[in-house]
Amino acid sequence: MDPVTQHLISSYLLMPVLTVIFGIAAYFIARKNKLLNNKKLIVYLLLCGIVLALPGLSGFMDYNFMPYIYVLLAILYWTAGYYNRFLLRKVFASGKETPSFGIRCLLTVTVVLLGAGLFSVVFNLCNELQYGIWASTCLLPFAFPLLYSQTVNSYFDIPLEIYKVWKYSEEYDSDSLYINRERSIVVDVEIFRKVDDSAAERITGKASEDVIFG
């Protein structure tokens, strides 16, 4: 491949093309979830993508971009991602129902890719070193607050009952435990993952006839 063409593709076309491909996939997923009926979706994606791309003008800093401006932008994008969580809930909430984590994650990733694609193009136009793709990785912290909050929420959603487990006394002799497999029976146990679950989940297993449940 011609070096000029290769440079053009890697510096100016790679990220935008990847963004378009992912954007098309996001379009059909959002359409399936009836998000495209809301004009706020298009406005949100465009405005956020442009705002995230504006710091690409820092390419004018040339050699001074790394590491100081890069680290500063990473902190800035992390802060923006923190407020983006509230923006997603406010803009795309349907009544009292907030969009699912999958939808919020999809929108966030789409915005990051769109912003990174535009960022890399703007950066390469302003910087003679032409490393816009690597410089655009400073946008990744934008998605961290959403992932962190979801992790924390999932942890606290674990019911306290799950931590209440049977514990044998230290005086108990585990070597004396013996199960007669010939006299074992099949049992079905119904459990609730959450206290407010309406339906129980059934687990099938084997146990001895004299096993005690309680």
Q: How many CB atoms are closer than 10 A to CB 24?
A: 10
d(CA 69, CA 132): 13
Burial readout 73-89 (b: 16 or more C-beta within 10 A, e: otherwise):
bbebbbebbbebbeebe
Are 175 and 148 within 8 A, CB to CB? no
What does the pLDDT profile of the chain (214 residues) look like in tens digits? 555 455 555 555 666 666 667 666 666 666 666 655 567 777 888 899 899 999 999 988 888 888 899 999 999 999 999 999 998 888 777 666 777 888 888 889 889 988 988 898 889 888 888 888 889 999 999 999 999 999 999 888 877 776 666 555 566 555 555 566 667 778 888 888 777 788 888 888 777 766 666 5
Contacts of 84 by beta carbon, 8 Å cutoff, 6+ apart? 48, 108, 111, 142, 145, 146
The residues pairing with 196 across neighbouring beta strands, listed in sequence order, are: none
**What's at 108, amino acid-wise?**
T
- 3-state SS, residue 1: coil
Structure token digits, residue 111: 């915005």
